[in-house]
């Protein structure tokens, strides 16, 4: 497990509204030949009515946000056969879970993308 202050790089991704928040990133291999990456914060949480909308292009709750960060993240994860979703409870933070298939450079699907 990696734990530390990541500053602004995860600010929009993990909904930490002030720089005093904590973001924890965990990764673990699953039995189904996938890897699960969890990004957990201790921010204010995400209201239920926004949990799916945050992945829509141009949806933002930030005054200077573009609404492209999580839309791009979902797109990129899905291009590689993965998924991303969020779990959140107001006042207790959010947990973004990415699941990606494990592949190696010898996998034909990976070789096609490298050409």
Question: What is the total count of domains within the chain?
Answer: 1
In sequence order, the 6+-apart residues with CB closer than 8 A to the CB of 92 are 42, 45
- Other CB atoms within 10 A of residue 45 CB: 20
Residue 94 sits in a domain whose CATH number is: 3.30.565.10
Predicted structure pTM score: 0.72
What is the DSSP secondary structure assignment for residue 46, as one 8-state letter?
A: -
Q: What is the pLDDT along the chain (115 residues), one digit of tens a residue?
A: 344 444 444 444 444 455 578 899 999 999 999 999 999 999 999 999 999 899 999 999 888 999 999 999 999 999 989 999 999 999 999 999 999 998 765 666 655 655 5
What Cα–Cα distance (Å) separates residue 54 from each residue in 1, 41, 75, 100? 26, 16, 13, 20
Q: What pLDDT does 108 receive?
A: 67
Q: What pLDDT does 10 receive?
A: 47
Q: Which domain holds residue 98?
A: 2-114
Output the DSSP codes for 4-39.
E--GGGGHHHHT--STT--EEEEEEE-TTSEEEEEE
Q: What pLDDT does 62 receive?
A: 87
Q: What pLDDT does 61 receive?
A: 87
């Amino acid at each position: 497990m990696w734990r530390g202050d990541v500053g602004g790089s995860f600010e929009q991704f993990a909904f930490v509204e002030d720089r005093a928040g904590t973001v924890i990133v965990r990764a673990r291999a699953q039995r189904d030949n996938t890897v699960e990456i969890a990004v957990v914060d201790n921010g204010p949480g995400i209201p239920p009515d926004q949990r799916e909308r945050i992945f829509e292009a141009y949806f933002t709750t930030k005054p200077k946000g573009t609404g492209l960060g999580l839309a791009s993240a979902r797109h990129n994860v899905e291009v590689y056969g993965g998924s991303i979703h969020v779990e959140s409870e107001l006042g207790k933070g959010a947990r973004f879970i990415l699941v990606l298939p494990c592949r190696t450079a010898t996998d034909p699907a990976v070789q096609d993308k490298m050409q």
